[in-house]
Amino acid sequence: TIQLTTQPGSWAVTSAPPGVNPATIDNNSNILDATNADAGTYLLTFTLDTPPPTGCPVSSVQSLVVGNAVDAGNDNNIEVCNSDPAPVDLNSLLSGADPGGIWQVAVFSPLPGPGTFVPATGTFFTNGQPQGNYTFEYVVPATTPCLASVAQITVSVYAQPAATITNPNPTV
């Protein structure tokens, strides 16, 4: 059971996981900063400034797990013609992404034609694809206690323009 107190005191990191960038506590605000901190279990100790009555503890130790956040990278867009035989490599449109993610079609996106999207390789074949905005998601799974991360890549497919030449003065 943890009993909260309004008594003044201070927090300290009394045990940190191995690494070069441990989480820190600001002594003025008593706020833990775990930004880019080494992942693992930390022991945090709260010590009262004024000793409590006899028999009451002067400090309390709490355990906190800091996890590594995952990053699917930045969203991106590309425009292509539906006559281009070269596939779009969706992986090449990601920047700053962690490995280990999976590709999927966004729920709000039109579905690509059968066999034109290969999730295992992040490849989209646009040749003959109907005109539209196709959105794909690269999802890096969550690592406890952090959430999953999602990047969206939108491929705008345009129909190849057709040019017709007519002669206004045909010779008979």
For the stretch 73-107, pLDDT in tens is 999 999 999 999 999 999 999 999 999 999 999 99
CA atoms within 13 A on the CB side of 2: 8
Overall average pLDDT of the 15-40 stretch: 89
Q: How far apart (Å, rounded) are the C-alpha atoms in residues 153 and 134?
A: 8
Residue 58: pLDDT over 70: yes
Please say whether the beta carbons of 136 and 105 come within 8 A: yes
Backbone angles phi and psi of 145, in degrees to 5:
-100, 15
pLDDT tens digits along 127-140: 999 999 999 999 99
CA atoms within 13 A on the CB side of 27: 1
pTM tops 0.85, yes or no: no
112 preceded by cis ω (within 30°)?
Answer: no
